[in-house]
């Protein structure tokens, strides 16, 4: 995964991200249900984005020390501006480069681990930053994300055109990796379907929510007539412009 490109995508669209992140917000709300029964005093949030999950964590743990990190400085600036009491420590930082010597009783992340280059190595490092009986709780995207778009593009261009989501690990692999490092693992997968009025609206939403990843192959050009043909094929095959978001949810203990 090209992190430089991922960071650029999020940074360029930081100002409009919240308007196009309905699924990510829904995932954040689901994550809170995994950790609501326990209070935490030292929290690390990885990939905090514009901070709406950070705000949920703060509401549940009002006295906690929260470190919220993200690759994008523009995202961090927006998250920081929402923190009226200035209680959270926001930092521009790569979640795969965890700082030594700090201990957290909760490590959590909403929809960011799929961008990691080394998911397993990162989980091992997170474990080493956690207190005894600490909790890790996260959501991440799976490979069936935007499967409808991949089918339509491959059909139209007559060759297999993988999206970035194809690089995301399977649920079974994620479950196996988590089980190597943590106990009392609870994992589930869900598929959210979002409808759009047009293919253009769908592609714009992907762009502005940062979920486009590394984008399409460089030799693919989506001009006006191609877009019309793709939209027609999309509607005929799927009875509308709808998109699957394939999400895993996980809670585990050290």
> What value does the mean pLDDT take over residues 214-242?
85
What is the CATH number that goes with domain 3-143+166-193+247-253? 3.40.50.150
Sequence spans of domains, the chain: 3-143+166-193+247-253
Instruction: Give the pLDDT band (50/70/90) at residue 99.
Output: low
Instruction: Give the pLDDT band (50/70/90) at residue 19.
Output: confident
Q: Is the pLDDT of residue 172 over 90?
A: yes
Q: What percent of the chain has pLDDT over 90?
A: 74
Which tens digit of pLDDT belongs to each residue from 178-218? 999 999 999 999 999 999 999 999 999 988 887 766 666 55
- The confidence score (pLDDT) of residue 11 equals 84
CA distance 14 to 68: 16
Q: Is the pLDDT of residue 222 over 80?
A: no
């Amino acid at each position: 995964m090209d992190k430089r490109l991922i960071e650029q995508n999020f940074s360029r669209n930081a100002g409009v991200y919240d308007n196009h992140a309905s699924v990510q917000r829904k995932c954040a709300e689901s994550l809170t249900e995994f950790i609501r029964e326990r209070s935490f005093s030292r929290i690390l949030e990885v990939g905090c984005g514009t901070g709406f999950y950070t705000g949920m964590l703060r509401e549940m743990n009002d006295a906690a020390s929260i470190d919220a990190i993200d690759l994008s400085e523009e995202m961090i600036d927006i998250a920081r501006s929402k923190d009226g009491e200035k209680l959270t420590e926001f930092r521009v930082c790569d979640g795969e480069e965890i700082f030594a010597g700090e201990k957290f009783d909760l490590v959590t992340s909403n929809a960011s681990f799929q961008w990691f280059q080394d998911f397993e190595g990162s989980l091992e490092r997170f474990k080493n930053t956690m207190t005894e009986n600490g909790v890790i709780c996260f959501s991440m995207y799976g490979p069936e994300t935007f499967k409808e778009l991949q089918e339509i593009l491959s059909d139209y261009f007559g060759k297999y055109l993988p999206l970035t989501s194809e690089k995301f690990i399977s649920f079974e692999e994620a479950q196996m990796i988590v089980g190597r490092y943590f106990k009392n693992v609870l994992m589930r997968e869900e598929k959210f379907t979002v409808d759009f009025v047009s293919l253009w609206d769908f592609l714009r939403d992907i762009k502005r929510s940062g979920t486009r990843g590394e984008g399409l192959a460089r030799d693919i050009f989506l001009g006006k007539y191609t877009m019309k043909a793709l939209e027609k094929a999309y509607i005929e095959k799927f009875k509308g412009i709808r998109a699957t978001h394939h999400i895993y949810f996980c809670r585990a203990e050290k």
